[in-house]
Amino acid sequence: MTCSRVFLETSLQIDRLLHSMNRRSTIQRNLSGKDICTSSYVHMEFRRTILQDICFVRSIVASDCASDADGYIFLSDIDRRLASGGGNYSSRSARRCFLITAAIKDQFLEARITKSELVEYLDLLIEQLEREFFVVEFEHIAPLLNTAVSILCVDVTGCQLTAKYPICKFARITCSRSQADCRLIAFIESNLARFVEISQAFMKVPPGQRDEKMIEAVGRLLGSSSTSIVLGQKNCWPLGDSIIAIEAPDDSEIYTKDQHFDVICHTLNKHRYLELT
């Protein structure tokens, strides 16, 4: 399939904005000349993962990092605090934190910086990434042109965690069934057969390729008398990859590095974007 529209999934959005310059340049080359879209659900995942991880690193800097006699912090101490595992949430979160500390070192490796200056930088980084989620700037492949292209944001699920709740420096984004304000129930009801098909497809692949949390969430959904059980992070978030794949426009290719999409896209008869190096 040759397609001019590319849908950016969460893992690609994170790589596009925070990975190495070589990686970002590769992604920009692949997006050049394409119609680019993403979704409000991807934006929610972006906020509750990488932006919340920046808040976690910020909390380490603000409260735990050692400083010298002149008030300058030791950047290496951030890695030591992260390595302790205290307050960390998952192995995926730990890997994302390495992207954040790499960005800090890119910015400040040769400079001495105080704790307050680094906290300010991380606050500005959150604001910058929130803006750039919706824009592709092609400075790495066309530095003299610096062409910026807006990303169309598809809003199928109407997730309000993207707008109603600001990124908090001291607490994580959460969602409960009573708190949920979205159109997810209608989306699930109209696509229930597709979720079941994806779950069944995952059960047929080797354990290392399965999305066990997705299978469990579909099981809870089918075992409930009401589809409202899907509301809230316990069941909504494990369905995230499938929600994203289903909501992606049919005329788009899904640009992701998440291997679960191999099974999902094959089941839905949708296509992953094949990255050109």
Is the pLDDT at 80 greater than 90, yes or no? no
Of 60 and 145, the one with more pLDDT:
60
Buried b (16+ CB within 10 A) or exposed e, 111-134: eebebebbbebbeebbeebbebbe
What is the spatial distance between Cα 250 and Cα 24, in angstroms, rounded to a whole number?
26
Cβ neighbours of residue 101 closer than 8 Å, sequence gap 6 or more: 57, 75, 78, 79, 82
Output the pLDDT for position 226: 93
Global pTM value: 0.92
Partner residues linked to 271 by β-bridges: 253
Of 96 and 87, the one with more pLDDT:
96
Tell me how many helices (H) and strands (E) the chain has. Answer: 12, 7
Output the pLDDT for position 89: 60
Q: Give first-to-last CA distance, the chain, whole Å.
A: 18
Element (DSSP H or E) covering residue 16? helix 10-18
Partner residues linked to 8 by β-bridges: 255
Residue entry with tokens 């069934």: 177
| Structure confidence at residue 2 as a pLDDT band (50, 70, 90) | low
Contact 265, 20 (CB under 8 A): no
Q: Which of 27, 277, 18, 268 lies closest to 141 in space, CA to CA?
A: 27
What is the spatial distance between Cα 235 and Cα 214, in angstroms, rounded to a whole number?
8
Q: Which of 262, 263, 240, 244 lies closest to 252 in space, CA to CA?
A: 244
| Structure confidence at residue 35 as a pLDDT band (50, 70, 90) | very high
- Mean pLDDT for the chain overall: 89
DSSP 24: H
DSSP 32: T
Output the pLDDT for position 92: 82
